């Protein structure tokens, strides 16, 4: 069994409050979950309205599928015009590691 996750450091555009931040982040989380069938959540920078840490995770039978899905998630997030992707960190582990 393979376990993988990806973490994104995101700089939001013209956002002036935590409420506006939620209006950008919630649709992103919902679309990533719907489109790629992964677990996804805001995992950091909760109190900063122009920054967000978002993570997505997946369990798979084989590493190739895991990498393919996480790479597709990264491409999708990077293509969003409403924010700037500052960094993405991806990790995969095998259950026997």
Per-residue pLDDT of 9-66, as tens digits, reads 999 988 889 999 999 999 999 999 999 999 999 999 888 889 999 999 999 999 999 9
Query: Cα(88)–Cα(16) distance, rounded to whole angstroms?
Result: 24
The answer to whether residue 97 scores a pLDDT higher than 80 is no
Averaged pLDDT, 66-80: 96
The answer to whether residue 5 scores a pLDDT higher than 80 is yes
Residue 82: predicted pLDDT: 87
Instruction: State how beta strands 2-12 and 83-94 pair.
Output: antiparallel
Query: Cα(65)–Cα(73) distance, rounded to whole angstroms?
Result: 12
Averaged pLDDT, 2-6: 96
Residue 36: predicted pLDDT: 96
The answer to whether residue 96 scores a pLDDT higher than 90 is no
Residue 70 neighbours by CB under 8 Å, 6+ apart: 4, 5, 6, 56, 58, 90, 92
Q: How many CB atoms lie within 10 A of CB 6?
A: 22
Residue 47: predicted pLDDT: 87
Residue 13: predicted pLDDT: 85
């Amino acid at each position: 069994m393979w376990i993988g996750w990806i973490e994104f450091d995101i700089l939001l555009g013209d956002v002036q409050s935590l409420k506006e931040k939620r209006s950008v982040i919630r649709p992103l989380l919902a679309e990533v979950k719907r489109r790629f069938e992964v677990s996804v959540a805001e995992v950091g920078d909760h109190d900063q309205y122009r920054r967000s840490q978002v993570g997505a995770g997946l369990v798979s039978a084989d590493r190739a599928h895991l990498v393919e899905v996480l790479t597709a998630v990264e491409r999708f997030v990077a293509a969003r015009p409403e924010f700037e992707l500052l960094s993405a960190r991806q990790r995969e582990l095998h259950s026997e590691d």
